[in-house]
Amino acid sequence: MKIKILILALIICILGVLSIYSSTYQKEGVWQDIYMRQVLWMGIGLFCFFIVSRFNYRKLWDANYFIYALALFFLLLVFILGIVRLGAQRWLRFAWFNFQPSEFAKLAIIIFLARYFSRKSVNDTSLLSGKFGIFQGLILPFVFVAIPMFLIIEQPDLGSGLILLLVFICLLYLTHVRLKYIFTLLALLILPVPFFWHFLRDYQKQRLLVFLNPNIDPLGAGYTIIQSRIAIGSGGFFGRGWLSGSQSQLYFLPESHTDFIFATFSEQWGFLGGCLLILIYYLIIREGFAIAQRTQDTFGKLLAYGISLLLAIQVFINIAMNMGLAPVVGLPLPLMSYGGSSVLVTFVALGILVNIDRTRNVF
């Protein structure tokens, strides 16, 4: 089982490196070896994957407050020391690389939530979550999620913030928290949307408006969506071939090696390649769900579900956004997009997943 996930993940990584190479090899200077950095991160990720997969995930139960606190610390640090790039302050500078704490925070919150909802009664070892009232079942965990979420949205990174919220809602749904509470939360979140509109940044408003109709601003905010759709569509059935495809090769498509790497990939490999990629992602996620279902331990189960869902939601939103089916939010395609933090955290998460499956038999 461990091997299957690893192979699928590696295939995606390699396709990612190929796409990164193709979209940057013609640029001058540092751009040319950007794919080497991605290979390096892949290596580091793989290394972490093996470490984590041998490291009993139950230890995370004990460390969860520490992990949560560490995530909050990094997020706060971003505000003080963060590097501003592309108009957002999302990165922390380490020795030779930039680290994106929001990627780490996603995993941290899943661990925290899994731990929170799998606490058991001291008396009869039954799950506490079934008996949770509205405060314990909804408000308290929401506050815990809301703090890092707020910090991330303020960076600003609406995409990652919303991912946290979606994962939270899905986990709520999977635990025994009453549906009534979940719907209350949804209602509370959706009703004030018109009100929140005023708190969105101008570029976020524009992106949402442009999502509804990219042609209102074809050279500005709508440009990316239009170019991305053209790139995907022009691939046709078989694609235009690796290292060809004018959209990504001639830089009409912005962010072609990060958020819009699916469009780059799809232009070159066509419908066939795109389907294959989506299928591989689905297989990894299905594997995650299968692991969750096999696991007896509630913590492990929730953790596996959380990790699979995080992956699923990110993949879905990113690809949908590439196709113009979702608004443009700054969200990487896990394992594919250029970016060390994302690759590393995804490999660690997959490592945890594999470890859950391995440790299952111990109980």
Rounded to a whole number of angstroms, the minimum distance from the CB of residue 194 to another protein is 26
Three-class SS state of 99: strand
Nearer residue to another protein within complex by CB, 142 or 281: 281
Rounded to a whole number of angstroms, the minimum distance from the CB of residue 308 to another protein is 8
Nearer residue to another protein within complex by CB, 82 or 235: 235
Instruction: Give the residues lining the site for another protein (CB under 8 A).
Output: 170, 173-174, 227, 229-237, 246-247, 250-252, 266-267, 270-271, 274-275, 278, 281-282, 285-286, 289, 292-293, 305, 309, 312, 316, 319-320, 323, 325
Q: 79, exposed or middle or buried, with CB in 10 Å at 0-12, 13-18, 19+?
A: exposed
Q: What is the spatial distance between Cα 82 and Cα 88, in angstroms, rounded to a whole number?
A: 9
Nearer residue to another protein within complex by CB, 176 or 205: 176
Three-class SS state of 90: strand
With left for phi above 0 and alpha for psi between -120 and 50, is residue 153 left, alpha or beta?
alpha
Q: What is the spatial distance between Cα 37 and Cα 276, in angstroms, rounded to a whole number?
A: 25
Rounded to a whole number of angstroms, the minimum distance from the CB of residue 32 to another protein is 16
Element (H, E) at 85: strand 83-85
Give yes or no for a contact between 247 and 232, defined as CB atoms under 8 angstroms apart: no
Q: 240, exposed or middle or buried, with CB in 10 Å at 0-12, 13-18, 19+?
A: buried
Rounded to a whole number of angstroms, the minimum distance from the CB of residue 214 to another protein is 13
Q: Residue written as tokens 């580091």?
A: 44
User: Of 43, 44, 36, which is closest to residue 17 (Cα–Cα)?
Assistant: 36
Nearer residue to another protein within complex by CB, 227 or 341: 227
Nearer residue to another protein within complex by CB, 68 or 281: 281
HEC sequence for 115-174: HHHCCECCCCCCECHHHCCHHHHHHHHHHHHHHHHHHHHCCCCHHHHHHHHHHHHHHHHH
Q: What is the arrangement of strands in the sheet containing 83-85, beginning at the earlier edge strand?
A: 83-85, 88-93, 98-99
Rounded to a whole number of angstroms, the minimum distance from the CB of residue 2 to another protein is 21
Rounded to a whole number of angstroms, the minimum distance from the CB of residue 276 to another protein is 11
Nearer residue to another protein within complex by CB, 67 or 309: 309
Nearer residue to another protein within complex by CB, 48 or 311: 311
Nearer residue to another protein within complex by CB, 100 or 118: 118
Rounded to a whole number of angstroms, the minimum distance from the CB of residue 62 to another protein is 26
Rounded to a whole number of angstroms, the minimum distance from the CB of residue 175 to another protein is 9
